[in-house]
């Protein structure tokens, strides 16, 4: 089997490298947006094209010509759209899923090939490690045995937008009105490789917060 792989996120590239080491299939791996070349993919004549964690528009000519598969870290049809992990953490979700699906011309709307539970505990890097492990396992299952696609129930769909740089700020209003778990989640969802949550200071600086924990001992310093 000939498999083209397109990605730029470390967790996606780790899946591709695992598959290349673990199988005898032929791989074309494009590791960045700069390397992305639709003509190279078409010339490769792949049986499958994997777009794991890809954030840019893919032409309909490619989607309609080849079996294109996307990995989306959410329990589709819930949390379609951008920044699925961050949007789930910010809304207090504890358990998500790793979903792989056949792409169509919609946004995360294609039939699901596999969906496995994903814990959202811990920091972002821990979650990405879990995505790599689960994504590798279910993709290997796809390559070795095939998977039956199941249509999504659009009535259950929720759609969210990509987190923007301005959303990284913990505002004064949030500090005054939001519970500690919300603030903790906002900090951990923006840990490396993301730029970090920040507080804007009165003297014009950004105080970047890269780590946080919840201390329940409120009276220690009284």
| Predicted TM-score (pTM) of this structure | 0.92
pLDDT at 217: 66
| Average pLDDT of the residues in 22-43 | 96
What domains can you pick out in the chain, each with its CATH number? 2-160 (3.40.50.170), 165-209 (no CATH)
For 222, the token pair is: 């009284």
pLDDT value, residue 215 = 84
- Band of pLDDT at residue 198, cut at 50, 70 and 90: very high
Residue 139 confidence (pLDDT): 98
Checking if the pLDDT of 222 tops 70, the result is: no
To the nearest 10°, report the CA torsion of 56, 61, 65, 69: 10
Q: What pLDDT was estimated at residue 220?
A: 56
- What percentage of the chain carries pLDDT values higher than 90? 92
């Amino acid at each position: 089997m000939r498999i083209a792989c397109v990605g730029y996120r470390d967790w996606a590239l780790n899946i591709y490298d695992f598959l290349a080491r673990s199988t005898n299939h032929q791989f074309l791996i494009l590791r960045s947006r700069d390397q992305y070349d639709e003509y190279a993919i078409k010339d490769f004549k792949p049986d499958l094209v994997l777009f794991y964690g890809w954030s840019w528009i893919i032409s309909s000519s490619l989607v309609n010509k080849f079996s294109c598969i996307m990995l989306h870290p959410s329990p589709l049809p819930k949390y379609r759209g951008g920044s699925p992990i961050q949007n789930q953490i910010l809304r207090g979700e504890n358990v998500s899923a790793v979903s792989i699906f056949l792409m169509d011309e919609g946004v995360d709307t294609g039939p699901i090939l596999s969906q496995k539970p994903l814990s959202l505990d811990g920091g972002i890097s821990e979650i990405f490690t879990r995505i790599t492990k689960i994504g590798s396992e279910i993709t290997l299952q796809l390559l070795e045995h095939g998977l039956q696609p199941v249509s999504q129930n659009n009535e259950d769909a929720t759609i969210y937008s990509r987190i923007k740089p301005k959303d990284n700020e913990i505002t004064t209003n949030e500090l005054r009105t939001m519970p500690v778990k919300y603030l903790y989640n906002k900090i951990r969802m923006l840990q490396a490789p993301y730029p970090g949550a920040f507080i804007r200071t009165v003297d014009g600086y950004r105080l970047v917060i890269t780590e946080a924990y919840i201390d329940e001992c409120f009276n220690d310093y009284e």
